[in-house]
Amino acid sequence: MTITHRKRQHQPEEIQTVNEPGLQIQCDGCDSDLTHSIRIKCADPVCEEGDGVDICPPCFLSGKDIGPHHKKNHAYRVVELHSYPIFCEDWGADEELLLLEGISLQGLGNWQAIAEHIGTRTKEEVEKHYKSVYIESPDWPTPRMDQHFEVDPQEFQERKRRRIATMNSHPPPAPKAAPTSAPGNHEVATFLPGRLEFEHELDNEAEDLVKDLEFGPPPIETMDSLKFKITLLEMYQQRVDKRHEAKALMFDRGLLNYKQMQANEKKRPKDEKDIAQRLRPFARLQTSEDYEAFVADSIWEAMLRKRIQELQHYRRMGLTSAADIEKYEVDAAKRPSAAPLNLANSPYLHLLSPEEQTLCSSLRILPKPYLVIKETLVREYARRGGKLRRREARDLVKIDVNKTSRVWDFLVQAGFLRVGNTDPNVVAGAQDASRVSATPSLSASPSKESQIRSPKPPFAGAQLGPGTSLTFTSPATSFSSIPPGPSNAPGRSS
């Protein structure tokens, strides 16, 4: 038997025809097509090697001997067409066999290639049938085996012919316009649309591996040298295949249309942009439709998580109904914000700059606790070599995270912290500043250490008397914030 797995030239999915199966069976005596007809299969053990021997009825009647092994007196069996339903009313057993064989050859999920292997079904029909019959079967992982269909074979074949004729009668869609040399893909991506190539390809140095290869006649070209050069060619082919896969991904996803991609990105909120950016590495592992569905589902999941956190926050406050939440939101909008704290009589106020005094007043933090927070963050920043993040700073200082974020932003803006900077000079300056604590004591004579430090004091705006130096003790970093009070209330020491 001659079995040919037909390899069709690739066409767009919209114009794929379904007039013949991907598996073709030919007579071993006259090479006639037996795909859609009854055939005789040799049952002798000597003819069972490979795919066996298949014979058409005329060759069988003439008693033809085929090849060196098959003789006309061998045992045989008649193979009829399996065009009758077994699992689904409109799918024949022959199509079921081709479906399973296509999945084995092409891989589960490659529905277009499987549909081409079957030859009489579209990609959508194949995917829907497999999910409904095999995946959603009550006897999963096997389909239901107890079904019986009373279908006339002639009527079944006629319906199959009508279905295929209807599919092939659809006019093919107009071909897509060829890519043009627009600024979006020619200037930005260095893409040459006429050649479907890039000015600098992926792994652009791959050709250097084989550019100087030469093959000589057998006396000169030894077997070891030939094997080595063939190995180099195989390595080069693997790199070229990787390049083609990357280009196919770019063409399939429309990544060359830079302006349209920018417009689509601008339509997304910031949270959705961040999620889509993190999920981009998964694009090459999925089809375009599956990847878009994956991103949409991930964004929906993030929205649900955010909503759940909001509802948990409301529940902790005792709000258990939508009416209570709405009333709370209305009352919160009408509620006046807390007045700034009056720091006029607070101790250590003279150690703060005017900007720091304004910050402490708005955050309702006394000067001494603020100095503790500042010293803690600067010391930890210096200890980590300038690698301190905002989230880690919130764990160091046990107060309201919003207040910690405000203090962090102020320290970064003032130059005490530099996010992402590991310059030794910057870290050394932070280490000098970290030696200063938040519980000051004054001495009568200046220290040598204070004289060799940077002229900029560790706390901007600190007013020290002549001939004095500033030293600190180790502070505690956990304290409670001051509750709101009237603007004329005197400052209190912690």
**Token pair for residue 61?**
């009647």
Longest dimension (CA), the chain: 126
Give CA separation, 189 vs 182, 478, 480, in Å.
10, 54, 56
Q: What is the mean pLDDT of the chain?
A: 74
Mean pLDDT confidence for 327-352: 83
Query: Quick one: pLDDT band at residue 1, thresholds 50, 70, 90?
Result: very low
pLDDT tens column, 300-337: 999 999 999 999 988 988 888 989 888 888 887 777 76
> What is the β-pairing status of strands 54-55 and 76-79?
unpaired
The CA-based dihedral angle spanning residues 311, 316, 317, 321, taken in that order and rounded to the nearest 10 degrees = 40
Q: Backbone phi, then psi, for 344, in 5-degree steps?
A: -60, -40
User: Angle between the 288-316 and 322-334 helix axes, to the nearest 10 degrees?
Assistant: 70
Residue 492 has pLDDT above 80, yes or no: no
Residue 378 has pLDDT above 80, yes or no: yes
Residue 124 has pLDDT above 80, yes or no: yes
Beta-bridged to residue 192, according to DSSP, are 197
> What pLDDT does 427 receive?
47
User: Cβ(262)–Cβ(184) under 8 Å?
Assistant: no
Q: Backbone phi, then psi, for 440, in 5-degree steps?
A: -80, 155
> What pLDDT does 13 receive?
40
Half-sphere exposure (CA, 13 Å, Cβ side) for 90?
Answer: 13
pTM value surpassing 0.75? no
Range of lowest pLDDT (59-68, 293-302, 394-403, 444-453) = 444-453
Domains and CATH numbers, the chain: 2-169 (no CATH), 183-267 (no CATH), 349-472 (1.10.10.10)
For 249-305, give the DSSP string. HHHHHTTT-HHHHHHHHHHS-HHHHHHHHHHGGGGGGS-HHHHHHHHHHHHHHHHHH
Q: DSSP assignment, residue 475?
A: P
Mean pLDDT confidence for 398-422: 82
> What pLDDT does 236 receive?
92
Better-predicted residue by pLDDT, 358 or 286: 358
Residue 281 has pLDDT above 70, yes or no: yes
Better-predicted residue by pLDDT, 87 or 337: 87
Better-predicted residue by pLDDT, 286 or 239: 239
Better-predicted residue by pLDDT, 115 or 46: 115
> What pLDDT does 57 receive?
84
Q: DSSP assignment, residue 494?
A: -
Range of lowest pLDDT (135-149, 179-193, 213-227, 255-269) = 179-193
Give CA separation, 40 vs 65, 93, 222, 223, in Å.
13, 19, 50, 47
